[in-house]
Structure 1
């Protein structure tokens, strides 16, 4: 006579099946220390992102590209996210590599990031080899843009499989899914702290004197040195992550995924075809995600530029005040990342106690208040007379740094809650986690395209600053906060499981 399974045995059997489908030779419940190591790759990736976000918009203008066009260069991020990340996730879902489904994509993506940052860092040197002058940096601009776009594609090709691997390892355990995404968010925060701190330091050219030459001035040498540090860092974190778990080759699950009534269906038609099967709660998550990123993207694009231009009253074309402002902005982003990391540690408990939708909504209202404060601070700084000592009042700078720091709290929510919500709600549709992350990413990249195309003309229309983009960000943040609080169901607090 067969003995009935207890609830605990049923959960263990379900998790074991999920682990087998993920192609991971891991226990039914993957140890938290393994999830922690796997998530560590986010630290290396985000280190490079932090350098990109804090230094490259100012550097674009130092190369001679007007402010109105700088956001167009960033258009590659959302475009590559639209195509590359879903495709990489989809391909990893169906990969039969003997090294596993996700790890080969992570390794290839991190290798591409390394190649990209080397290309960006040495753009001025390459331009000098091709005959660029102080007044004409055409070749440097071309190499920089190519490297910049390739870097965005590499980042997007890597992040999808990273998130999907964590989802594979947690299976249908919603609590562990939140924990894994909180780990990922924590490592993103650590990478941000290290990256922004590296970007804020102005003496790297002394540590690496070979980076300074006739084609590459001090700012360029600092940028180059920072990216060389990124190469070392991403190699270390990638090794820690991919050696944390052993993925078994997929055979039968691969056949099951591709054995459908439309085996030759094109990928993008397949991806967009999944939208008609999405339930209402998932559509709501995608909608709030889109509004949230309309709020974040202007800040991501112009945070250090805003500090150098509006707060310090500098000009990107060789003005020391602008450079000082950019470095102060990078320091503000360090504070932002510290708060992000602290918030990530408490994220799972907050969501379990108050509900993910409520936490998400409150965080977006905080975003709205911060962006509104940035607009007020811009107005105050515009009334300052910089001709006296050339620096803004200490109170204005402190207020700007406080705003940057506070924004770390909602950023931690943005980095974790939407991914956990989608991963837990979309699995019943039978999609692979790689494709699921690609579906979520579509709701992120579309608003980024809108902001990239619109922010330059908006700002130019209102005097060439960043205020118009931040006004749009404030409105989108407020709207997304209200929708999240009022429409996303508040889950009941989870009760402790009774062992049987």
Structure 2
């Protein structure tokens, strides 16, 4: 039998409240239940990045056209996350603020993922088999599926992150976001591991290609995970005063830009750190396989081993994927172990026998470690050495998936606590002489009665009042934070194009002569610039830790 345990609502959500938000199930399962959806999200990202590019090329798209298709990722992060965040923040749905957007996003994600896996079969419904129109419709359906996947999964991820801020109190934000990072790390591991299996042979009833089988498995995982969260996490239903009018979509979008200007200094610092940190991270995420493939090709030139260009490319890609797999293992282990040694401002009062470092300090040191790994490319010339530094960078990647979100959530909730304390002091004249007791006015009782009449079909023990503090804007703040992560991707794309044009040559992947074979890959210059950005991120985050 499932047992419900109450979990206190995050500060700022107390308002007029009949009971705390709840997560059903044993207490040890609360954090996994809250974060299980991110496992399916990360596996979906891994499958899309690994299999969608070669699939699009096989359909006849050029590389330049494919690059335009994959602008869907940063575009959706730039637009969808902030907009969905502000819409959910202002939602008064009887099902909760986040749950409707979560389920709608998952449904769109699942449908578009199945269309991507079975594109040609879907196109056949409209065009018939083996004709030119079928090929054209297949290509356009694949492109449309990728855009819908990216836009819907960004919406789902925004809701998943905001739900953590809504449900968990500030002292549990570090642990909650560590679990989220562990789910993301586990998702990467599963994605890399499953990709090495012959799935059509193992599961022939799901499809005849790797992408078809993976699309079905991803749909099952992402829907199961989010349905688990939706069923077992009971959000407080937010209601507003009877004369309250929900702002228009235009006004809600204007709220995003207004919030950018009025964010507290601590949140602005976190966003600034993320901006510089991701200038360094994006090249590593995008070009690690290329970097190791180039080193592998040059090692063959030096040893005069004869292989065809196709064999060289395939083996180099496998080695690059292996390095990312080792990095994912180390990242997952880091996320399982390191949170026990981290402290936040809200957990300093909790006594512990384990020596702990402040979380901002851990975050700052992770930038220093990442920068050192990128500078190590000056000394590394072998494939094994490159795989080692990419693997070590997995420690920094683990912290990047965890620390900024925990610090951001804590900043939101701490600011809300300070605001409530100030308001309480201002309301002291309304209390009895001893500072406690009932307010001298009956307005609060009247307001409760009006609020209860708003939703007569709802159980009244799950209703909270809408508030205007930072915690009521968690979705839009996380969206603004995501903008600071996405903009570097556009800048890095331009930077990489310039660097590759300056340093690449026809012989860069095996070369036509000895001098070309000894030249470093152009990718390595972008990695070394990443060290500069990471040191800037270190300086800013170090100031936060002081």
Give the TM-score, by structure 2 length: 0.71
Contact 2:105-2:155 at 8 Å conserved across structures? yes
Aligned pairs for 1:417-432 (under 5 A) are 417-427=403-413, 428=415, 430-431=469-470, 432=473
Aligned residue for 1:150?
A: 148
- In the TM superposition, what is the alpha-carbon distance from 1:441 to its structure 2 partner? 0.8
CA distance in 2, matches of 1:21, 1:326: 55
Match of residue 370, structure 1, among 358, 373, 385: 373
After the TM superposition, which residues 346-361 of structure 1 pair with which residues of structure 2 at under 5 Å, given as runs?
Answer: 346-352=337-343, 353-361=356-364
Contact 1:85 1:438 in 2 (8 A): yes
C-alpha distance in structure 2 between counterparts of 1:88 and 1:332, whole Å = 35
CA contact 1:61–1:70 (8 Å) conserved in 2: yes
Residues 1:230 and 2:218 aligned together: yes
Please give the alpha-carbon distance, in whole angstroms, between the structure 1 residues aligned to 2:494 and 2:199. Answer: 34
Long gaps (5+) in structure 1? 1-10, 214-220, 381-395, 493-500
Equivalent residue number for residue 199 of structure 2: 204
Partner of 2:463: none
Shift of 1:15: 5.1
Which is higher, the Rg of structure 1 or of structure 2?
Answer: 2
The answer to whether the 8 A contact 1:193-1:333 is kept is no
- Length-normalised TM-score, structure 1: 0.77
Which residue is 1:193 aligned to? 189
The residue aligned with 1:402 is: 388
Asked if the contact 2:291–2:524 (Cα under 8 Å) also holds between the matched residues in 1, the reply is: no
User: How many correspondences in the alignment?
Assistant: 447
The partner residue of 1:292 within 262, 277, 281 is: 277
Q: In the alignment, what sits opposite 1:266?
A: 251
Q: Which of 489, 502, 522 is the equivalent residue of 1:448?
A: 489
Q: Determine the C-alpha separation between the residues in 1 that align with 2:86 and 2:228.
A: 24
Equivalent of residue 330 in structure 1, options 305, 314, 321: 321
2:235 is paired with a residue of what secondary structure? coil
Deviations 1:17-73 (A, max 9, x none): 54977996328xx94531221111111111111222333345455555555665443
Alignment CA distance shift 1:254-1:475 (3 Å): farther
Partner of 2:438: none
SS for the counterpart of 1:266 is helix
| Cα distance change on mapping 1:484 and 1:401 into 2, 3 Å | closer
Q: Is the 8 A contact 1:21 1:253 kept in 2?
A: no
Structure 1 residue aligned with 2:518: none
Post-superposition offset of 1:100: 1.4
Aligned-pair CA distance for 1:338: 1.7
Q: CA RMSD in A?
A: 3.7
- Corresponding residue number in structure 1 for 2:516: none
**How much does 1:331 deviate?**
3.3
Gaps of 5+ in 2: 1-6, 301-307, 344-355, 417-468, 510-520
**Range moving further from structure 2, 460-469 or 94-103:** 460-469
1:2-401 matches, within 5 Å, as 17-18=13-14, 25-26=21-22, 31=27, 33-61=29-57, 63=59, 65=61, 67=63, 70-123=66-119, 139-171=137-169, 173=170, 175-201=171-197, 203-209=198-204, 221-252=209-240, 266-308=251-293, 311=296, 319-352=310-343, 353-373=356-376, 380=381, 396-401=382-387
